[in-house]
Amino acid sequence: MKLELSQKQTTGLLMTAEMRQAITMLQWSSADLWNRVQREVNENPILTLDSPGNFPTFRGNREAYQDQIDKIAHEHKGWRDSLVEQAGYLKISPSLKEVLLFLIGNLDGRGFCKISEEEAADQLGVPVSKVTHARRLLLQFEPFGVGCYDFKEFLMLQIEGQYPDSSLLGILVSYHLEELAEGNFGKVAQALEVEDNRVEDAFNLIKTLEPRPLLSTDDTDVLPVMPDLILEKGEGGYLLHDPLSISKQIKWDEPLLKMYEQGQEAYEYLDGCYKRARWLFQCIEQRRKTVLLVAEAIIKHQKRFLNGGSLKPLTLKDIAETIGLHESTVSRAVANKVIQTPDGIIEMKSFFITGYKTSQGAEYSSQHIKEWIKTLIYEENPLKALSDQKISSELHAKYNVKISRRTIAKYRESLNLPSSSKRKAAARDNVVLSGLLHS
């Protein structure tokens, strides 16, 4: 074996600390960015803060934010922030971590996941297996069970951990929970060919489980009080602008800047401060341009919704291809951002909605699908209630869209519509269907 020294020239992208800072800054809300700017001004003597002046007050469907910058509500760390922090501790690939953070952002106020693995994969442009992997990791975070789709999955997760040898508990939760809630122990026992007391004891055990993850109660989980962008409607269309140009509030300390430019004493120290400040200005401006670019593309696509119509199907990939950016950049640009519209404050990520295409090229959003499901159930014969699989077949036959049974079930549950077995039982008991559906 011959040993020798050789040189090889290669090209590659080195992710510097500054580049990481710029990427991280893109996904911050305006309030987060302002907190970061305040810290930098406090630590960097060559910068100073201009007087905020009088800023307009914007009111949305939530609450107005304050006129003065220094009155912006300080966001305390809540359960969602804790999940993000836990994700940061994991030694996983950046792409998997990005999926994990996306799922955390799509948890509802109860800690349940609002988006299916298929929908998340479609929006992020990754394999479903990667989303599945990320959700499995999330299920092990604290509080335990965040990331489950509903309380049934959360119950099953607890049963697997606490009562792994009890097959009866799993069967009852998966297939007979509605009947047990109505007290039909004998019917369930007969169907499973077990004693009545075993079913009743198992149900009493199920009732001791937690119905949802134990989230901290001090997290208000509300939208930021300061909008990141303002959308105004005029005669010629919509006007989108930044309500608070943060970079304009940062000023140079003129005496120190003059000392630096003239190469006077403490030049080396001031040189480091100056370069940090210049980089901060560049990051803020790049963030502003990117967020505005993404927002403009979203507004253009969703004009129908802003004019009182329904949302059109839209994915991160659609916007990325339209404006020539990477999907991950678009994802960061919409993260934690809200737009003040004439109809109130709207989260930017809310403009993205799953769509379905027919073989003829027609597009339907998930909102359309939900309306169709609602109509089919309202018009059905409750004694012959449609199963989720039957609803899927009906929609395919009527609208030529293919939707899985699982997706139908998820949409139905989001509409608070009972399962077919419960609707049949209600009809047999002469319960008014409309009253049940709105209870």
Above 90 in pLDDT, residue 361?
no
Q: Residue 277 corresponds to which amino acid?
A: A
Looking at the structure, give the CATH architecture of the domain made up of residues 355-437.
Orthogonal Bundle (1.10)
Kind and range of the H or E run holding 276: helix 267-301
Provide the pLDDT for residue 294: 94
Provide the pLDDT for residue 2: 57
Q: How confident is the model at residue 321 (pLDDT cuts 50, 70, 90)?
A: very high
Above 50 in pLDDT, residue 248?
yes
Provide the pLDDT for residue 38: 83
Say what percent of the chain tops pLDDT 90. Answer: 10
**Is 1.10.10 the CATH number for 79-138?**
yes
Domain ranges of the chain: 17-32+224-233+244-351, 79-138, 151-206, 355-437
Above 50 in pLDDT, residue 76?
no
Could you tell me the CA-to-CA distances from 92 to 120, 133, 160, 426 in Å, in that order? Answer: 19, 11, 26, 49
Say what percent of the chain tops pLDDT 70. Answer: 82
Q: Two tokens at 181?
A: 């809630």
- Choice among 196-210, 327-341, 358-372 with the minimum mean pLDDT: 358-372
Q: Are 211 and 151 in contact (CB under 8 A)?
A: yes
Q: Residue 152 corresponds to which amino acid?
A: K
Above 50 in pLDDT, residue 429?
yes
Above 80 in pLDDT, residue 331?
yes
Q: Which of 81, 160, 156, 145 has its CA nearest to residue 112?
A: 145
Output the CA angle 320-324-326, nearest 5 degrees.
50
- Spatial separation of the C-alpha atoms in residues 434 and 414, rounded to whole Å: 17
- Spatial separation of the C-alpha atoms in residues 271 and 245, rounded to whole Å: 26
The reply to whether omega before 143 is within 30° of 0 (cis) is: yes
* Beta-carbon contacts of residue 16 (< 8 Å; ≥ 6 apart): none
Provide the pLDDT for residue 168: 85
Above 80 in pLDDT, residue 349?
yes
Q: What is the mean pLDDT of the chain?
A: 78
Angle between helices 327-334 and 267-301 (to 10 degrees): 90
Q: Residue 161 corresponds to which amino acid?
A: G
- Choice among 54-68, 86-100, 105-119, 374-388 with the minimum mean pLDDT: 54-68
Most confident of 132-136, 382-386, 423-427: 132-136
DSSP at 353? B
Q: How confident is the model at residue 290 (pLDDT cuts 50, 70, 90)?
A: very high
Task: Tell me which of 225 and 265 has the higher pLDDT.
Answer: 265
Provide the pLDDT for residue 55: 38
Task: Specify the length of the chain in residues.
Answer: 439
Torsion 97-128-152-197 (CA) sign: negative
- Spatial separation of the C-alpha atoms in residues 439 and 432, rounded to whole Å: 11
- Pairing outcome for strands 338-341 and 229-234: parallel
Mean pLDDT, rounded, for 43-53: 73
- Spatial separation of the C-alpha atoms in residues 330 and 337, rounded to whole Å: 12
- Residue indicated by tokens 């020798």: 4
Q: Which of 51, 65, 41 has its CA nearest to residue 249?
A: 51
| pTM of the predicted protein model | 0.53
Mean pLDDT, rounded, for 28-45: 83
- Spatial separation of the C-alpha atoms in residues 388 and 406, rounded to whole Å: 8
- Choice among 94-98, 250-254, 322-326, 354-358 with the minimum mean pLDDT: 354-358
Domains 79-138 and 355-437 share a fold: yes
- Spatial separation of the C-alpha atoms in residues 359 and 177, rounded to whole Å: 39
Task: Tell me which of 35 and 231 has the higher pLDDT.
Answer: 231
Provide the pLDDT for residue 107: 86
- Spatial separation of the C-alpha atoms in residues 156 and 148, rounded to whole Å: 10
* pLDDT digit string, tens, across residues 163-214: 877 788 888 888 887 777 777 888 888 888 888 888 888 888 888 888 888 7
CB atoms within 10 A of CB 378: 12
Above 80 in pLDDT, residue 78?
no
Above 50 in pLDDT, residue 52?
no
- Spatial separation of the C-alpha atoms in residues 130 and 210, rounded to whole Å: 28
* pLDDT digit string, tens, across residues 395-406: 888 888 888 888
Provide the pLDDT for residue 131: 93
Provide the pLDDT for residue 142: 85
- Spatial separation of the C-alpha atoms in residues 109 and 114, rounded to whole Å: 10
